Amino acid sequence: MKKFLMIMFTLAIMQALLLLPFEVTAQEETDPESVFRGIYEAINLGDVAGAMRLVADDAVVTMLPSPGADSVLIGQEEIQSGWEQFIANGGRIEFTAFQSFGDQAVWTAAVFDEANFAPLGLNPLYMNGGGIVQDGLMQAASWTFTAESLMRYKAAIALEANKMLVTRFMEELWKEGNLDVADELLSEDFVSHVYPEGGREELKAAVTGFHADLPNGYFIIDEMIVTEDKVVMRGSAVAEAPPAGEEPERLDRWIVMLSIKDGKITDRWVAFVPTE
C-alpha cells in the first residue's frame, strides 16, 4: 500500500509541476537535477552500477505505458534489471527541459529505444517525467509519453498488430494448413468475397483444397501495405520450395485485401494479376 501511494503521489506531483514554466535553478551535487542527470548520463554510458549509486534502496520507477517491460519497478533489484534491459535495447535519454523544486523535479526528454521504438519508425519518442530526491538519492521517478508521442506510439502498435495478424493468416493458416487458427484470426461474421465466396467454413475448405493440390505449396508476399483497418498484399503462389540458391517458380500473381476490425479479419478480396 505504501508503494502504491508513493507511485500515485509521484504522478500527481509530476502532472502538477509540468504546468509551471521551466527556468534555470541553482544546482548542488545532491539536488534533484544533478542526481537525475547523473543517473541517466550513467545509463547512457552503459554504467548501471554508477546509476544505482544514486538510487535509494526502496525507490520506485514507473513508466506509463511501458514498452516491452514492467510498468512499475520497486526497489534496487527491479530498477537495476529494468535499466539493464533498457541499455540492452539500445536505450538512451536526452533531456530537453528540466526544472527543480526543493526535493522534486520535472523534465521532458527524448527517449531512444532501438529495440522497441526504432522498428516502429518512432525513434525517439518524447516523454514527460517527474521525481523526488532526498539525501542525494532518487526516491521515485515517473515517466509518461507526451500526448503527441502517445498518439504516434498507439497508432504504430496498432499497425504492427495488423501486420502480425495478417502474417499469421498467411503463415499458419495458408502455409501450414492449421485450420484451427482460422477461428482465432477471423471474425464470426467473416466474409470472403471471392476465391472462395463465403464465411469461415468456405475459407477452411479452400485451404484444404490448396494443400490437396499443392502439398508443399505456399505463398510469397512481395509487398504489404498496412493501415489501421486494412492490409493489402501483392504476391505469388509457389508449388514447392526451390533448391538452395535458386528462385522459386511462381504459379500466378495476386493481390489480396483484408479488412480488420477489433483484431480480427472481417473481409477478404482477391484479384489475380495477368502474367505474360
Tell me if 257 sits within 8 A of 230, measured CB to CB: yes
Supply 191's cell numbers: 466474409
Q: What is the pLDDT of residue 186?
A: 98
Domain final residue, candidates 120, 145, 170: 145
The answer on 125 and 165 residing in a single domain is: no
Tell me if 142 sits within 8 A of 15, measured CB to CB: no
Whole-number Cα distances in Å, 4 to 30, 68, 131, 144, 162: 26, 22, 15, 17, 35
Per-residue confidence band for 4, with pLDDT thresholds at 50, 70 and 90:
very low
The answer on 137 and 22 residing in a single domain is: yes
Whole-number Cα distances in Å, 57 to 15, 28, 52, 138: 25, 22, 9, 9
Domain interval for residue 45 = 2-145
Supply 111's cell numbers: 527517449
The answer on 161 and 138 residing in a single domain is: no
The answer on 122 and 10 residing in a single domain is: yes
The answer on 100 and 30 residing in a single domain is: yes
The answer on 179 and 58 residing in a single domain is: no
The DSSP line for 59-71 is EEEEEES-TTS-S
* The model's pTM: 0.72
What domain count does the chain have? 2
pLDDT digits (tens, 9 = 90+) for 30-40: 789 999 999 99
Per-residue confidence band for 276, with pLDDT thresholds at 50, 70 and 90:
low
pLDDT at 58 over 70: yes
d(CA 127, CA 150): 9
Domain final residue, candidates 85, 117, 145: 145
d(CA 45, CA 215): 53
Dihedral of alpha carbons 198, 199, 203, 204, sign:
negative
Q: What is the CATH number of the domain that holds 160?
A: 3.10.450.50
Cis peptide before 32 (omega within 30 of 0): no
Tell me if 254 sits within 8 A of 271, measured CB to CB: yes
Helix (H) or strand (E) holding 178: none
The answer on 182 and 267 residing in a single domain is: yes
Mean of per-residue pLDDT scores for the chain: 88
Q: What is the pLDDT of residue 20?
A: 42
The answer on 54 and 9 residing in a single domain is: yes
The answer on 128 and 261 residing in a single domain is: no
The answer on 29 and 107 residing in a single domain is: yes
pLDDT digits (tens, 9 = 90+) for 244-258: 888 888 888 999 999
pLDDT at 16 over 60: no
The answer on 174 and 141 residing in a single domain is: no
pLDDT digits (tens, 9 = 90+) for 115-168: 999 999 999 999 999 999 999 999 999 999 999 999 999 999 999 999 999 999
Domain final residue, candidates 145, 180, 207: 145
The answer on 196 and 250 residing in a single domain is: yes
